[in-house]
Amino acid sequence: MKKLAFLLVLTFLAIPSIAQEKKEIKEIPDGEIFTSTQSVTIKGRTISLATETGTFQLRDENDKPIALFGFTHYKKAGTNNRPIVFAFNGGPLSASFWLHFGVLGPKRIEINDPNYTKPAPYKVVNNEFSILDKADLVMIDPVGVGFSKPIGDAKWEDFWGVDQDIRSIGLFIEQFIIRSGKMNAPKYLLGESYGTFRNAGLVKHLQDKGIAMNGVIMVSAVFDLQHLLFGPGDDTAYLIHYPTYAATARYHNKVKNKGESLESFLDEVRAFTQNEYAPALLKGDQLGTAERNAVAQKLADYSGLSRDFYLKADLRVTNGEYFQELLKDKGLTVGRLDSRFTGINEDLLSQNALTDPQSDAISPPYIAAFKDYLYNDLKVRKDWSYTTTASSRKNFKWDWKHNGNIIWNMQVAVTTLPDMTSAMKRNPDLKILILNGYYDLATVFYGVEHSINHMGLDADLKKNIIMKYYEAGHMMYTHIPSMAKFKKDVDEFIDQTSN
């Protein structure tokens, strides 16, 4: 009897512990995928596409579930080893609907480039410029945007950072190509804006895991983020932005001598920037008055601003100041993402522009039309919320530290250029296609040229980097002639690198 009582006491004492254990176990949700059949007509030929949209359960290196990872996959029906392109936008963090509904997918939104598009109903059309006749396509939404979110013990901050982001997308790509049987297919990365910065690190990360890319496509690239920052004591950003200021002034008829073509005009501006502007800034306060005035006059002649404005600015004008000043006499400001776009200047007394006309003009049609396609054509559950940018999430914060950017416990750079350099040197067959908009003041073309010229590549290896230019902005595909050129350039690149 005593033994029975003892056992009952032990059982009673164990009950709260067992209950507590059960309470602490987190339910790990599975992904959910919605299937449909889409089609696209390119060059008169209609292609049927088996389509998947939704999330699958992403696992870490030890096969522990860490996220529901969102994507859309278009696969040409009846094919296996076609090339496959993994594509994403930038931010950080932005969802991939810009590229998806702008140029890559089977449908695209029509906008009134370079002006404002009227409110709904918006026009969605067959995308004759899609790459789906050349490759299967996976549109990726990193954790924090789209439908992607952490699960289990994982937290948002496990994904929100330069290296965290590269790791999680690397895991996704590896698990996806295994899942879809594409391990032996030609493989490509395609990123826009911060997506190019990600690409430069991701291509090496995947290569180190035994997954070599046939090619990497960079849309509106930046590899050294400090090039975009007008930091105190650092003149680089002023120099690399200047040719795009000049291109913008020429577009808006603010320069007297336009040259024979935009290309010849910009060659002249590049030469001035390198041979006169850079040495002048290097001299600092040792620059003589006569030389200062001469340089200020040339800066004014090419950029459309006044000599006095440049003198007051000590020859250094930030992009925000340029947006605000160029067309202030007309009560307008110009776009950062695409300086062809103009909008109402909301405060003529402000030193910096308050808004980006390009973003204001195209965001509503892109977002509304894509969500209509997502929930109605792709058949995603309507009780799922599609997050377009992680900045809308509470406590969103990006960790900018990257392996190799820290010296003596200090962050000395924000760059993935050494990663791309290493990847190219260890895989001399790797090709890089870089698409640059002349009117892009978010990631400027002269900054890309500066980065490439500082990679330390020999002449033969440097030929693996192919540069293309467009008379449009950051999202050059809003401009129909540039969209056609985008299609041609990407098609040729895939053809050349997939055989």
Q: What is the pLDDT of residues 430-445, one digit of tens each?
A: 999 999 999 999 999 9
User: Which one-letter amino acid corresponds to residue 115?
Assistant: N
Contacts by 482-486, CB closer than 8 A, 24 or more apart: 482/437, 483/103, 483/129, 484/129, 486/103, 486/129, 486/435
Who contacts 214 (Cβ-Cβ below 8 Å, separation ≥6)? 83, 186, 187, 188, 430, 431, 497, 498
Residue 38 has pLDDT above 80, yes or no: yes
Q: What is the pTM of this model?
A: 0.93
Residue 9 has pLDDT above 60, yes or no: no
How is residue 88 written in tokens? 């994403």
Q: Is 49 helix (H, G, I), strand (E, B) or coil?
A: strand
Separation CA 106–CA 88 (nearest Å): 16
pLDDT at site 34: 98
Alpha carbon distance 199, 443 (integer Å): 15
pLDDT in tens, 173-194: 999 999 999 999 999 999 999 9
The structural domains of the chain, ordered by start, are 34-226+364-470 (3.40.50.1820), 232-358 (no CATH)
Beta bridge partners of residue 57, listed in sequence order? 68
Mean pLDDT across 156-162: 97
Element containing residue 52 per DSSP (H, E)? strand 45-59
> Which token pair is 255?
């320069």
Query: For residue range 322-339, what is the model confidence (pLDDT) as tens digits?
Result: 999 999 999 999 999 999
| Interatomic CA distance for residues 64 and 75, integer angstroms | 28
Check: CB of residue 73 under 8 Å from CB of residue 51: yes
pLDDT in tens, 218-257: 999 999 999 999 988 899 999 999 999 999 999 999 999 9
N-terminal to C-terminal alpha carbon distance within the chain: 82
| Coil, helix or strand at residue 33 | strand
Please tell me the least confidently modeled range out of 18-22, 161-165, 271-275, 346-350: 18-22
Concatenating the DSSP letter of every residue in 215-271 gives EEEEES--SBGGGG---TT--HHHHHHHHHHHHHHHHTT--S---SSHHHHHHHHHH
Nearest to 338 by CA among 263, 247, 264, 229: 247
pLDDT of residue 361: 95
* pLDDT score recorded for residue 105: 98
Q: Report whether pLDDT(471) > 60.
A: yes
Task: Report the range out of 72-86, 267-281, 351-365 with the highest average pLDDT.
Answer: 267-281
pLDDT greater than 70 at residue 89: yes
The structure tokens listed for 212 are: 């070599």
DSSP 3-state of 293: helix
Helices 236-251 and 289-303: angle between axes, nearest 10 degrees: 40
Cβ atoms of 97 and 147 closer than 8 Å: no
